[in-house]
């Protein structure tokens, strides 16, 4: 028991859900956080981190399965790293997410809370994503259970691993991809596109990318499918190869005439980011159009847009309701992205001021405002903590409502200080990470009270959750 990598706790009862997809157990007053388990499971757990009052581990063997478990519907469950809650019925997922929001707000926020509104679940728990990115790889990921079995049977492991595959990187693995036959996250033709392109590439001996060697031609593909029926495919290649590109594009356009727009992006770098690269249009106009209520949004390959369209509409409706607009307010939309929330609330505001650090997103925001014939918006490029100066607020008008929708890291402490200084009467805080949201409201509690809390499930079968809060300036 001295070497923590050898600590195995046998027959450990998993008692409750913790956070970030982990469950917890208790042993002699010590809290054990365990991944890949469900409350009610009894498991032998190996610890990989052990402190005085807490530890983290993973199940070596589940001796008894929880009565709450259901059979996962995906053949790749537990291997690809996504949809890690498929073994839980959806009502239980929502129950745990609701509890997660309450727990972190109480534990980290340490503020007076109103009663949380019941979490808004997704009407569709399969095929709900409008965007997916797949990777091509010269190395196939082999799960450890399979690997141990192959060693017993003396299978040629190297030959099986060095196989051209298309799918998702395995959880915690940066250089090998899980070959996906069917993904349940996005509607067709997403699986047909991935599988057919991969098979065509194998038949024509196109090289697949090898992350460690930084070699190989076919790298990634991104599929966007809008509620309007428009479909985008962006292929990411390592280099220009006119002959093979023409072969591949002709095949895709022949097999998938329903594609609205086809693009390719050349990425010679070691990382997969395309935000500093320029997609090239092969077919169509290079973008698709998404719709929320009667608002239309131009989505280009590098645009950020909520990946669950139906739930995004509900999320934005809540943000608009929480803003309590009368038509007289100047609304600041900080971390505005492509302007979707600001545009969504614009008809009930006097003026919308959007701020976003990504320049391409601001270009999209301006185009989206024009697309919807909205003239009361202004969008600015830059870091919110740099732009939101006293002069900026003097120029654009005193804020009646602040809407903040930061990344997972939450609000910068300097922005929190500025919000406290500006004293907008009302703040709507949209968060994809209730833990950092709780940290921020603890600071904002100096002047603001929390009036409403509404969790929203954007990503069924995962532990991720969005949470919307309404904060009001105290008058006393």
Coil vs helix vs strand at 240: coil
Residue 160 to residue 140: CA distance in whole angstroms: 7
The structure tokens listed for 33 are 């956080």
Query: What Å distances lie between residue 400 and 78, 339, 356, 369, 405, CA to CA?
Result: 47, 18, 19, 21, 17
The structure tokens listed for 206 are 């196109």
Query: Could you give the residue ranges of the DSSP H alpha helices within 175-227?
Result: 190-203
Residue 32 to residue 441: CA distance in whole angstroms: 28
For residues 108 and 438, the answer to whether their CB atoms sit within 8 Å is yes
Q: What is the DSSP string of 305-366?
A: --S-HHHHHHHHHHHHHHHT--S--EEEEET-TTSHHHHHHGGGSSEEEEEES-HHHHHHHH
Residue 289 to residue 270: CA distance in whole angstroms: 31
Catalytic residue among 74, 83, 336, 432: 432
The DSSP call for residue 51 is: -
β-strand partners of 208: 218
Residue 373 to residue 354: CA distance in whole angstroms: 17
Query: What Å distances lie between residue 403 and 176, 228, 339, 352, 375, CA to CA?
Result: 40, 28, 12, 10, 19
Residue 211 to residue 141: CA distance in whole angstroms: 13
Active site residue 74: no
SS3 of the chain: helix, strand, coil, percent, to 5 = 30, 30, 45
Residue 275 to residue 262: CA distance in whole angstroms: 18
Q: Please state, as a whole number, how many other Cβ atoms lie within 10 Å of the Cβ of residue 296.
A: 15
Q: Does the CA dihedral 135-409-469-334 come out positive or negative?
A: negative
Residue 288 to residue 290: CA distance in whole angstroms: 7
Report the candidate in 225, 171, 238, 215 with the shortest Cα–Cα distance to residue 194.
225
Catalytic site positions: 432
């Amino acid at each position: 028991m001295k070497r923590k990598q050898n600590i195995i706790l046998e027959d450990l009862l998993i008692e409750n859900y913790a956070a970030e997809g982990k469950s917890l157990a208790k042993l002699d007053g010590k809290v054990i956080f365990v991944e890949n388990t469900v409350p009610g499971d009894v498991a032998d757990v190996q610890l990989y981190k052990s402190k005085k009052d807490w530890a983290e581990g993973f199940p070596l063997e589940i001796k008894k399965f929880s009565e709450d478990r259901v059979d996962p519907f995906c053949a790749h469950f537990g291997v690809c790293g996504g949809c890690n809650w498929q073994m839980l019925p959806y009502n239980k997922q929502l129950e745990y997410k609701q509890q997660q929001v309450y727990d972190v707000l109480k534990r980290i926020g340490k503020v007076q809370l109103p009663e949380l509104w019941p979490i808004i679940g997704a009407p569709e728990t399969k095929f709900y994503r409008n965007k997916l990115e797949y990777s091509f790889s010269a190395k196939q990921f082999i799960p450890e259970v399979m690997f141990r079995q192959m060693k017993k049977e003396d299978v040629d492991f190297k030959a099986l691993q060095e196989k051209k595959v298309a799918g998702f990187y395995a959880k915690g693995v940066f250089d090998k991809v899980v070959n996906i036959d069917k993904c349940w996250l996005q509607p067709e033709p997403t699986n047909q596109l991935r599988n057919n392109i991969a098979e065509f590439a194998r038949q024509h001996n196109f090289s697949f990318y090898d992350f460690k060697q930084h070699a190989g031609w076919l790298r990634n593909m991104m599929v966007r499918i809008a509620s309007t029926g428009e479909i985008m495919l962006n292929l990411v290649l390592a280099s220009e190869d006119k002959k093979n590109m023409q072969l591949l594009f002709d095949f895709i356009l022949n097999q998938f005439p329903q594609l609205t727009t086809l693009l390719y992006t050349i990425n010679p770098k070691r990382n997969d980011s395309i935000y500093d690269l320029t997609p090239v249009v092969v077919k169509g106009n290079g973008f698709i159009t998404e719709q929320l209520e009667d608002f239309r949004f131009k989505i280009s390959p590098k645009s950020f847009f909520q990946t669950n369209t139906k739930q995004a509409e509900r999320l934005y409706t809540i943000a608009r309701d929480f803003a309590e607009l009368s038509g007289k307010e100047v609304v600041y939309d900080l971390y505005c992205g492509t302007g979707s929330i600001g545009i969504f609330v614009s008809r009930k505001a006097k003026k919308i001021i959007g701020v976003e650090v990504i320049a391409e997103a601001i270009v999209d925001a301006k185009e989206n405002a024009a697309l919807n014939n909205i003239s009361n918006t202004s969008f600015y490029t830059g870091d919110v903590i740099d732009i939101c100066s006293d002069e900026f607020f003097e120029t654009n008008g005193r804020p009646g409502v602040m809407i903040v929708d930061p990344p997972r890291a939450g609000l910068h402490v300097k922005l929190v200080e500025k919000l406290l200084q500006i004293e907008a009467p009302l703040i709507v805080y949209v968060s994809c990470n209730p833990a950092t949201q709780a940290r921020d409201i603890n600071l904002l509690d100096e002047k603001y009270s929390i009036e409403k809390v509404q969790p929203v499930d954007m990503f069924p079968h995962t532990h991720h959750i969005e949470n919307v809060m309404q904060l009001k300036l105290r008058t006393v």
